[in-house]
Amino acid sequence: MRKLPVSCFIISKNEGDRIARTIRSVRPWVDEVVVVDSESTDDTVSVALAEGCRVITQTWLGFGGQKRFAEDQCRNAWVFNVDADEVVTPELEREIIAVFASGTPEFVAYGMPLQMVYPGSLKPRPLARDQWYIRLYDRRVVRFRQSNVHDAVVTDGYRIGRFKSPMHHYSMRSFADMKRKLNERTWLLVENAGRNSKGTMGTRLLSEFPMNFFKYYFVRRHCMGGFKGLRYASIQARYRFLKIYRIWRTLGRTGSAGNSASRAT
């Protein structure tokens, strides 16, 4: 197979148990795979090297900063970002190859759906509707935002292409792992929150859980996932509520959500 003039980059930390699957979904058709590892203590680096990747160790710079650093390590102008818990489907691979068939792609960036795969499942639930992200782009034109919390490509008004086929997202090793990750992410969001009104946050305490449960269970169609879908939607709603509660508690102590929060729920 002729390889595309695309560098795939992956940021990692302690992903040795699953990064090989991710790499193998892109290695046959991209020019290079660059893994930027933030000081893993497991075998992530050795696994990535064995899979033929170029590996660079970089102390954590925040979500946006780490991905911007990874962009700079790539030798191609066109880059494709895949996280270490994601797998490119054969259908998406064919769509990506097709946009390079005539040379330079029509758009400067392309987005695609990501479909959640529950722990213990082999494929997404029926009619899955999860996130949509821009992951394939010309880094000379658009790049990831410099942010500690968010990792999104800033498109600056450029027209964006859309792929229909998804990547599969194996974000949870277990539901306990999901809770751990959400708890860490929630505290990060609290610590990076801007100034908020205590009254506004107090009002949101009443609506945050039911609103988010409805969003995940019905709008994002986790209702199609059986008991696992119910559990997933409930956990997501709980941690969305906890984020608002923790900001509200912090405002009560400091008057500003921009200061460090006491880690007590």
Q: Identify whether 161 is part of a domain.
A: yes
Looking at 169, 203, 222, which one is the last position of a domain?
Answer: 169
Q: How far is CA 81 from the centre of its chain?
A: 10
What digits encode the pLDDT tens for the residues 12-42?
999 999 999 999 999 999 999 999 999 999 9
Where are the extended beta strands (E) located within 163-217?
Answer: 167-169
Closest CA to 250 of 204, 207, 187, 203: 187
Give the range of the structural domain holding residue 227, as residue numbers without chain letter.
175-254
d(CA 74, CA 44): 19
Residue 262 pLDDT class (50, 70, 90 cuts) = very low
Owner of token pair 């997202």? 169
> Do residues 162 and 180 both lie within one domain?
no
Using CB atoms within 10 A of its CB, is residue 33 exposed (0-12), middle (13-18) or buried (19+)? buried
Residue 199 pLDDT class (50, 70, 90 cuts) = confident
In total, how many domains does the chain have? 2
Closest CA to 77 of 109, 46, 42, 51: 109
Q: Identify whether 152 is part of a domain.
A: yes
Degrees, nearest 5: CA angle 119-120-124: 70
pLDDT at 220: 97
* Model pTM score: 0.90
Q: Is the pLDDT score of 254 beyond 70?
A: no
Q: Identify whether 228 is part of a domain.
A: yes
Least confident window among 49-63, 67-81, 161-175, 178-192? 178-192
What CATH number is attached to the domain comprising 143? 3.90.550.10
Looking at 169, 184, 216, which one is the last position of a domain?
Answer: 169
What digits encode the pLDDT tens for the residues 108-146?
999 999 999 999 999 999 999 999 999 999 999 999 999
